[in-house]
Amino acid sequence: MSCFKERINDLFRQSGKTQKDFARDVADVSRQSLYDYLNGNCIPDGDTIRRICEKMGVSADWLLGLSDVQSPNTNTQAINNATGLSEQTISLLQFYVKHDELEIAHVIDTLLKYPILLNALWEYFNTHYESLSIELPNHEVLVLPVENAVLDKGVFSSLNFKSFEPLARLSIMDMLKEIREESLKERSESKNGKS
């Protein structure tokens, strides 16, 4: 019940409505019933849950704490279940494809197809930068100290690649070429050292 309590409170705050207005306009219940939901005293019946979800654009599974995917979109839910990608990442990938940002989609696809590239990219940042300044899709700027950063697929794959500060000087393709050259050089040096 605590998950429902937290999520109904989140929806109430997001709505910007008074308890009276939320009870009437969204849940179609009495103020007392809404008060009980917000305080975790009870959970609404199925029809009330359906109305809240429809009016607030969330899934009933999310509201009840059965899923972390807020979207009622069944495609988003299926992709999340199959891949473990966050809802934000799924939306961002869909946005890139829909708006012909195919270069970014291609880079992400390539990184996921070849984990060695993803690891090499991460190693590059680890050795060349103290921190990464990243603009997230909601325009917040996230600064990750590289030595403490965790390569989290939800965070990393939802990044706006165009906003990495180092990329102002270096395109992703140039970076990948440089990583490849460094890797080949290291292999050559290690072969020479073994002979």
Overall domain count for the chain: 2
Whether 149 shows a pLDDT value over 60: the answer reads no
Per the domain annotation, does 71 fall within a domain? no
Q: What domain range is 122 assigned to?
A: 95-194
From the CB of residue 139, how many other CB atoms can be counted at a distance below 10 Å?
Answer: 8
pLDDT digits (tens, 9 = 90+) for 2-57: 899 999 999 999 999 999 999 999 999 999 999 999 999 999 999 999 999 999 99
Tell me which amino acid residue 173 is: M
Strand partners of residue 142: 134
Per the domain annotation, does 68 fall within a domain? no
- 110 with 173, same domain: the answer is yes
> Residue 68: what pLDDT?
87
Q: Which residue has the higher pLDDT, 70 or 157?
A: 70
Per the domain annotation, does 136 fall within a domain? yes
Residue with tokens 């989140």: 10
- 55 with 121, same domain: the answer is no
Whether 170 shows a pLDDT value over 80: the answer reads no
Q: Which CATH number do you get for residue 47?
A: 1.10.260.40
